Structure 1
C-alpha cells in the first residue's frame, strides 16, 4: 500500500470543516491514516486568514 496526501485550504474555519467532511465521504475508515490541521488567523486589520488541512490516506497499490 502507498500513502497519499490531499491538501485543503480555505479562508474560513467553517468552510474548511465542510470541505473536510465532504472529502471524508469518499474514504472508508481504514484508508484514513491521519488528518492534520493548521490555522493562521490574522488579528491585524491587514492580516489574512488561512486555514488548511492535510488528509493522509492509504491507496491499494495493485501493480
Structure 2
C-alpha cells in the first residue's frame, strides 16, 4: 500500500534527535528519538486538501520503492 501513497505524491519528513542527560561528567541517560511524517494531497472531491500523516517507524521508506 505504501507504493500507492508514494505514487500519489506523498512527501516524507523524517526527523531524529538525541537527548543526553548528564550529571557532572557522568552520562546518565541517552535516547535517540525518530519521527516520520507524511504530507499528502487528498483527492479532488476533498478539495485537494493537504493532510499530515504519522508514518510507522518500520514502514517502507520512499527510496526503497521503484516509483
Q: TM-score over 0.5 for the alignment?
A: no
**TM bucket by the smaller chain?**
0.3 to 0.5
User: Greater strand share, 1 or 2?
Assistant: 2
Q: Give the structure-1-normalised TM-score.
A: 0.43
Q: Give the structure-2-normalised TM-score.
A: 0.41
The structure having more radius of gyration, on CA atoms, is 2
